Structure 1
């Protein structure tokens, strides 16, 4: 009955159900036929064993940090030239060993310095070539001519992209640098040989963003419920490094210190006598540095290091990559939490023969998130916590037009700060950021403002077939590793999500378990989960994950009329299916197209939240770790029949809807104190050897076993001793 008879379903609920059915049925009968999975474009990321551990490589380079560094950097954001083109996606998604020649022929002379691009339009980078409501453009060519200063001579040049949606092929001065698939995560390409210092250079990027619902071999693949912003949607810059450099520094936090791992690369032809100096600094967030992504800005001017250590690496030959461990212990430390978002800064200086040649800095926080081994609850720094949350899309709200959001993906720090402050305005301490990795400034600013985050990869409405395609291609795995590595040092990221509202039993569980194992290998400090359909509370596919996550629309999209007993029954079914796991409600909500809908939206919040909060895991016998309203703001969608989703607690003009005011009151009552921002972190730190932490742990375990055993032995001796009787 639903099929293609759209006119028979004029209600908002009908359109939402129809959208889900279209995705689940591959949308073929309604003119959105999806092509069978045939992409053969290899993943560009791999994990390699090097001296000291495992390192991720991509396009021939060890995956670097994408945080700002005190290195020479040439910013390539701003006005680019753009030519829209209907590109051949079969070429875009096939192996470059076969398709680079035809793609180059298609390119023509566009990558040349003398090519006349006067007829091309001007487009902002970062930005999009298909702002709503128009979605006719799915690809094209970006072109930028820039002067590379003479200072590049003698340095290695890395071209970094914050994100390009969806497939990017890159040429510099006519030299092909490489490609990347996936529209939300950063990538880097070696531009050293192609860059021409002291003269004009031409950078050309071919971007293909296949329309959702036309193929089943891209990620995401179907009609997703947000706007598909195509183009160069992240920052672009060139970064100079010396022959011997620090690639990245990863911090695995503990409550009493951290395991620090530094990746060092040597690219010179002459062997280097390498060493690193590692320093730990206090950090302080102020109004002046809150939105500054540079971690150096967080170090107070009069601050002295809490720890300094020197580590000799020894001789490194050409193309050597090593991983160096530099763990530390700390007492009197300040832990990160939404209420107390304390941070530290790690600095790494690289020496060649005693001469400093490179510096790298990163901010991080000390925290521990885990599931209680004795109860279905989340522990943050050892204490039970239940999150009051909102979900959001990283989309520009203002200036609103005719009651609709402005549209466009957020890319400016001030805009992202404003969105996170709206999260705090309703007293939420948790945000599910989009159905895909967000702009990397989101977790940076969430660290500083005190907002816990759920990040996820865009396996959205996946089916057994599309799970198999994405996993066989290695694309889901690559997206997860890219997200993990980019935000490795962001303490606000407490959860990693692997799928949203997907179907399939064995195929889905196999994919989730594979991604979970990979996440553990790369990171291991975050809790893992999915957002499963609430229609099946007993869904068994979360068994191998840390938490059982659900979207939850009882009384809205299913389950009959809104009813507290029905909500409670569904929650208990989920709890009975996972008695040892915390439940995370990752969506509940209602649209607000008109004043009557706003009244219904308010009732949905009040009835549903009252049932969720009563089972928060901070209560005895509680089992719910998060209640997440969908959504913070209204947003543009590509669902058929709907232009703008009006689920927001805020209207596009910035005013609170009644449900938003109710959420602010309720969250203020049940949530933690408001974040305290502005204090300087402190502590007394000491360097430890990589094996020393485990040695101390074994000592604690031995003491924990030996002391009770000795006590028990003494009790047995006393009880068994009897005085001799006189004969």
Structure 2
């Protein structure tokens, strides 16, 4: 089949399938199963809650932990879809009957298939949806007794239900974001425990109310696709600490939970800022404390005391550090700091927490359609990446499998740096946490997004009604809150409709602002419709450009330049983000054809970059850095990569290296940055007490006046003489 025949067939099949799906047996009634994440007011502020507990931080903490990465077993099973998407108050008993004991600790799983966790059960090229049950035996240390022990999942694709020793813990829907459960009394310290996980992934196109709902142009690995671990802490412990960066300050918000049955008085929260240094020795160390130089002085510290922690409850305390001479986080000099949080009772520290952060500000210039990083104009040269093992290749194709370890992610970063890429678009999903750790430390920007890929008016309405995109965005934003490399949150990719999509973009933007507000928001619209109005609520106008590939005639020009001008006319005050351009290399085809697409497309973007006085293009992202497997029937492997699966640079990679290097400063040896400066602490008044006092001051007089007026009116009616009608 010729290249042009393949392109035409792919577009025709996709268009027909998407438009006809609603009439081909797909479930068009939204599921009753509710999202598990919400927000709750507690002492001191608002806290994200999920499955009955505050949403924790999922980064590495120097706490006792048990990694559940060995000795898992898996059994395929035909799982009832209707039960899966029915509220658990109605379906749990039936699900457990369907399990026929698989969730119980005494069940014999000796004949089940051994399986790697994390990993997928549907590896390419043969693998497809494989629903079923996972089980693992483990023995936690006796030291876990009397501790608060949390079970954390990095991700499970798609819908997971979990039991610990036969006790149901809860469920989670969504395949790319983390979740956690309180093990409570279900965990038995020092003895054999059994964790059972039921995993269901609906066949693509059978449900319109899931995310994603249809075949994706990447391989969706099903199963437990990220690490699983138990983390122990004191009953009074730090749940998370979020930092909102400014150029001369850092605002923080600390969430502390009291998991005990008793109120605790004499509680204090102590916060300090420590310097950090990234070296070859600690680059891959996930422990934030590993970045603090030996004998490094504390930059600033603050203590918030006189706290009473209510039993089985959480509280929030906020504050700020104002810096003088701070080291800002930039692409060329990615300075990081370490935030340390210590909770004490009567002066005795009972828990500690650490995370890294950077001082940076990404914004749109209020006077022009350009991006500003720390006040300076910036344009990004980028590439898309996939969370998939590529090397060593198998028969010339990517190896396949997930997830990628930190060293494997470092290989991706080094390839990106080799072609002068400074912006990574993480496919259409949230980023791998190891990638973000490295991007923070090595100076790369990241565009990550939730998988609203190829959504339609109907599917937008259904999933927004269920609240799934809102939950996925919140989980992504909360997980990556302190990552300075994450500069953009994407809400959709190549979707259709106007009213429904605009409404969804507005809702997601508002949620993003309430959670964080330091990232720019966008989506990737079809470049074939540069007048698409649905990015009006967002910060930037993102597009995918495939002129001469999927549309616009046989060549990239003049379609690319004309569409770019129309996009700027549609959004004159927003930077235009080119989030995809590129072409695949046919098997046996010449690399020169792919290189010619770059040469004939990129100049239109380069001449309009927003670093020039009249420029407005904020990024040019090649799709993609590496080849990857795809779920799309009939394609198997997408060969878009700047690099071959064996690690060799393709001809198009050489051109990208040269052209991108004119915009992005070529990467040299990583500078040794020891963050410094001086800072002073600025505590914030306790909002809960302030609100109570304010309410008393304002409301009580109004109520008192109201009661007096009501009393006078009643008395007046009682004393009013009755008049007789004249006769």
| Separation of aligned partners in 2, 1:313 and 1:478 | 35
Question: Which range is displaced more, 264-273 or 364-373?
Answer: 264-273
Which residue number corresponds to residue 86 of structure 2?
94
2:282 is the alignment partner of 1:281? no
Structure 1: tracts of 5 or more residues without a match:
1-6, 693-727
CA RMSD of aligned residues (A): 1.6
Q: Deviations over 1:486-544 (max 9, x none)?
A: 00000000000000000001000000000000000000000000000001101000011
Which residue number corresponds to residue 251 of structure 1?
243
| Separation of aligned partners in 2, 1:23 and 1:373 | 42
Which residue number corresponds to residue 466 of structure 2?
473
| Separation of aligned partners in 2, 1:421 and 1:8 | 35
2:117 is the alignment partner of 1:125? yes
| Separation of aligned partners in 2, 1:555 and 1:595 | 21
1:112 Cα offset (Å): 2.9
Matched-pair contact (CA < 8 Å) for 2:420–2:661? yes
TM-score normalised per structure 2 = 0.92
Alignment of 1:600-639 (within 5 A): 600-639=593-632
| Separation of aligned partners in 2, 1:378 and 1:562 | 30
TM-score normalised per structure 1 = 0.92
Residue of 165, 169, 172 corresponding to 2:164: 172
Alignment of 1:247-646 (within 5 A): 247-272=239-264, 273-594=266-587, 596-646=589-639
Matched-pair contact (CA < 8 Å) for 2:61–2:354? yes
Matched-pair contact (CA < 8 Å) for 2:389–2:404? no
Change beyond 3 A, Cα 1:563–1:235:
closer
| Separation of aligned partners in 1, 2:683 and 2:105 | 53
1:691 Cα offset (Å): 7.0
1:60 Cα offset (Å): 0.3
Give the secondary structure class of the aligned counterpart of 1:193. helix
| Separation of aligned partners in 2, 1:338 and 1:93 | 44
Matched-pair contact (CA < 8 Å) for 2:239–2:256? yes
Residue of 211, 218, 224 corresponding to 2:216: 224
Structure 2: tracts of 5 or more residues without a match:
687-727
Matched-pair contact (CA < 8 Å) for 2:22–2:28? no
2:105 is the alignment partner of 1:113? yes
1:563 Cα offset (Å): 4.1
Q: Deviations over 1:6-59 (max 9, x none)?
A: x99983312431353145214478xx7422233211100001122222110000
Change beyond 3 A, Cα 1:224–1:103:
same
Give the secondary structure class of the aligned counterpart of 2:185. coil
Which residue number corresponds to residue 191 of structure 2?
199
Which residue number corresponds to residue 146 of structure 2?
154
Q: Deviations over 1:300-333 (max 9, x none)?
A: 1221211122111421221231110120011111
Matched-pair contact (CA < 8 Å) for 1:138–1:210? no
Which residue number corresponds to residue 14 of structure 2?
20
Give the secondary structure class of the aligned counterpart of 1:159. strand
Which residue number corresponds to residue 683 of structure 2?
689
Matched-pair contact (CA < 8 Å) for 2:629–2:637? yes
Alignment of 1:71-82 (within 5 A): 71-82=63-74
| Separation of aligned partners in 2, 1:596 and 1:136 | 28
| Separation of aligned partners in 2, 1:288 and 1:563 | 46
1:270 Cα offset (Å): 2.3
Matched-pair contact (CA < 8 Å) for 1:278–1:347? yes
1:597 Cα offset (Å): 4.5
Matched-pair contact (CA < 8 Å) for 1:496–1:526? yes
Matched-pair contact (CA < 8 Å) for 2:70–2:116? yes
Give the secondary structure class of the aligned counterpart of 2:255. strand
Give the secondary structure class of the aligned counterpart of 1:78. coil
Change beyond 3 A, Cα 1:545–1:465:
same
Aligned length: 684
